């Protein structure tokens, strides 16, 4: 084992034990210690689901990237494993960037981006590398890097070439990798291999053409419900209505895919998530055939980790995906239901004042609110409410919007504190499912038609929930077990 990896392992072991019980969210997985960004290597291996992540153990800021490591059997309770890889070779000395994993012949293959600085020119070079292991210990291949930027079409960037997502199809392996084309904006290259080590360029699956941001990071590609689905996280997006916001975003391109000729024909482009904190999602397919996605529950523009915390960065609750009427549908994994500790439901009437409902409180819950647009035009829910601070969830029929607003959650440096999403035009029922886990809110509209994910790092004391509406609505509230992952450590 390299000295760098050994140091990281010793450090995380020591510091993870110092993190107070009850400080982490309950059912969301967090960095073990230090900083976490993108989920990596989300895969099934020997009957368990593994999740790696972009990891800088030594501080709560981004730094030289390692891969942190967890495993789970149900996507809710996570077991920490030691740091899997460290930036300890010439070809990844600047970082082991994002990537993915696949099981083959009883071994676990991690495919990641090695970043290095050219000795002569000082230019950054990104190339794809592989490490193979048994679920805990991984060894980097002697033949690394396995794909370098020269494999891309002429004019492509050699500096931005990263985040391979690998999958298996019969006897072959495929990988999609993000890069920039000669127009300087994103493109997704498709590569093929027989052995995970030797790769050939196949085609460019899709290109940004300067329409959706610039560099396309963290691609994923799969077929689902008869459609080809390409997910990517573009940098430098420019706002368009309520569909896309400024900065780093996430998009889902749905189209037809002719697997024989590797032709993807895009039919639609939409945001994957409309909240303030969602990036770099990655999927796996479970042995029971579910396509499950997990994302980084944070954004590059806001690090709101409270002072004194020794961990920073968490992942979303994994979501089951489908394609329905050309749209990506996302619903929380069903396994969360195994952790409900109590359930109450109410039929509520309009009220001019904020009302509390008995049994509905706390910051670890799964709540569904339903209303008819014809009879209820405004609804405000205040969650995480204490004496002074609260976070608002707002439905406004006239604006046809749903809003998450954390302006009054008590965080003085939270400069971006509210985001709105458009609701369907049609009259009828509106269903909002809200999962809160201490520091985060994940909202799912109409059984997963849209998702809205945001951090709520403001005042941790607030546990009350209030409702105010100008018409009738129904609430079903499940309290979820606290501290499910309260004690992850090594």
CA nearest to 314, candidates 64, 5, 28: 28
CB of 370 to ligand FRU, least distance (A): 35
Shorter beta-carbon distance to ligand FRU: residue 53 or 467: 53
CA distance 205 to 27: 36
Whether residue 405 lies in the annotated active site = no
Six-digit token string for 295: 């994302």
* 319-324/291-296 β-pairing: antiparallel
Q: In whole angstroms, how close is the CB of 293 to ligand FRU at the nearest point?
A: 15
State the residue for tokens 């790696």: 52
Tokens of 67: 């891969």
Name the catalytic one among 38, 88, 92, 414. 38
Q: Assess contact for 485 and 25: CB atoms under 8 A.
A: yes
Rule CB under 6 A: which residues touch ligand FRU? 37-38, 54, 65, 97-98, 113, 162-163, 217-218, 279-280
DSSP letter at 313 equals -
Q: Which is nearer to ligand FRU, 37 or 310 (CB)?
A: 37
**Residue 300 or 354: which CB sits closer to ligand FRU?**
300
Q: State the minimum distance, in angstroms, from the CB of residue 68 to ligand FRU.
A: 12
Q: How far is the CB of 126 from ligand FRU (least distance, A)?
A: 8
Smallest distance, Å, CB 65 to ligand FRU?
Answer: 5
Nearest residue to ligand FRU, by Cβ distance, number only = 97
Burial-class residue 347 by CB neighbours within 10 Å (0-12, 13-18, 19+).
exposed
Nearest to 225 by CA among 316, 325, 147, 153: 325
Distance of alpha carbon 31 from alpha carbon 26, whole angstroms: 13
Closest approach, Cβ 38 to ligand FRU, in A, equals 5
Smallest separation, CB 402 to ligand FRU (Å): 26
In order of 160, 315, 370, 439, the CA distances from 365 in angstroms are 40, 17, 16, 12
**In terms of CB distance, is 207 or 214 closer to ligand FRU?**
214
Q: Which is nearer to ligand FRU, 63 or 460 (CB)?
A: 63
DSSP at 335: G
Q: CA–CA separation, 317 vs 453, rounded Å?
A: 10
Angle at alpha carbon of residue 252, lines to 251 and 253, rounded to 5°: 120
Q: Looking at beta carbons only, is 219 or 448 nearer to ligand FRU?
A: 219
The answer to whether the beta carbons of residues 83 and 66 sit under 8 Å apart is yes
The least distance separating ligand FRU from the CB of residue 340, rounded to whole angstroms, comes to 33
Burial class (CB in 10 A: 0-12, 13-18, 19+), 326: exposed
Q: Mention every residue, 6+ apart, whose C-beta is less than 8 A from residue 5.
A: 66, 83, 85, 86, 88
Dist. CA 116–CA 94, nearest whole Å: 5
The Cα–Cα gap between 475 and 490 comes to 40
Nearest-approach distance from CB 443 to ligand FRU, in angstroms: 23
Tell me whether residue 52 or residue 174 sits nearer to ligand FRU (CB atom). 52
Identify which of residues 37 and 312 has a Cβ nearer to ligand FRU in the complex: 37
Q: Which helix (H) or strand (E) holds 8?
A: helix 3-16
Which of 230, 243, 194, 237 shows the shortest CA–CA distance to 212? Answer: 237
Report the DSSP pairing between strands 95-104 and 319-324.
unpaired
Contact 336, 366 (CB under 8 A): yes
Q: Which is nearer to ligand FRU, 97 or 467 (CB)?
A: 97
Residue positions annotated with a catalytic role: 38
């Amino acid at each position: 084992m390299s000295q760098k990896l050994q140091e990281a392992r010793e450090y995380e072991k020591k510091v993870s034990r110092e993190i107070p019980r009850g400080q982490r969210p309950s059912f969301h997985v967090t960095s073990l210690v230090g900083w976490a960004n993108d989920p990596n290597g989300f895969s099934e291996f020997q009957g368990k689901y593994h999740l790696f992540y972009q990891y800088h153990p030594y501080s709560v800021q981004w730094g030289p990237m390692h891969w942190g490591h967890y495993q789970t059997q149900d996507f809710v309770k996570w077991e920490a494993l030691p740091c899997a890889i460290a930036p300890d070779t010439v070809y990844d000395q600047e970082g082991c960037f994002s990537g993915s994993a696949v099981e083959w012949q009883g071994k676990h293959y991690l495919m990641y981006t090695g970043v290095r600085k050219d000795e002569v020119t000082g230019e950054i070079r990104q190339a794809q590398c592989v490490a193979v292991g048994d679920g805990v210990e991984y060894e980097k291949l002697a033949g690394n890097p396995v794909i370098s930027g020269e494999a891309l079409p002429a004019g492509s960037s050699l500096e931005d070439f990263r985040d391979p997502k690998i999958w298996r199809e019969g006897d072959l392996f495929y990988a999609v990798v993000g890069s920039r084309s000669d127009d300087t904006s994103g493109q997704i290259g498709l590569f093929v291999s027989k052995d995970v080590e030797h790769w050939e360029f196949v085609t460019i699956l899709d290109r940004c053409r300067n329409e959706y941001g610039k560099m396309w990071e963290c691609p994923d590609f799969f077929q689902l419900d008869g459609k080809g689905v390409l997910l990517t996280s573009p940098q430098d997006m420019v706002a368009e209505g309520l569909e896309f916001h400024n900065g780093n975003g996430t998009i889902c391109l749905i189209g037809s895919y002719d697997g024989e000729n590797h032709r993807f024909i895009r039919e639609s482009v939409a945001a994957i998530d409309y909240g303030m904190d969602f990036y770099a999602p990655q999927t796996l397919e479970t042995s029971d055939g579910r396509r499950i996605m997990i994302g980084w529950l944070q954004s590059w523009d806001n690090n709101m980790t409270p002072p004194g915390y020794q961990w920073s960065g968490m992942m979303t609750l994994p979501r089951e995906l489908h394609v329905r009427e050309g749209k990506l549908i996302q619903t929380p994994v069903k396994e969360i239901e195994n952790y409900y500790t109590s359930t109450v439901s109410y039929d509520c009437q309009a009220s001019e004042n904020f009302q509390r409902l008995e049994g509905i409180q706390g910051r670890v819950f799964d709540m569904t609110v339903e209303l008819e647009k014809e009879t209820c035009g405004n609804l405000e829910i205040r969650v995480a409410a204490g004496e002074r601070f609260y976070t608002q969830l707002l439905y406004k029929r006239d604006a046809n919007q749903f809003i998450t607003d954390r302006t009054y959650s008590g965080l003085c440096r939270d400069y971006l504190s509210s985001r709105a999403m458009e609701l369907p035009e049609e009259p009828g029922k509106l269903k909002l499912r809200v999962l809160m886990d201490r520091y985060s809110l994940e909202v799912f509209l109409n059984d997963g038609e849209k998702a809205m994910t945001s951090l709520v790092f403001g005042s941790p004391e607030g546990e009350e929930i209030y409702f105010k509406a100008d018409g009738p609505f129904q609430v079903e509230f499940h309290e979820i077990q606290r501290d499910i992952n309260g004690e992850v450590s090594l």
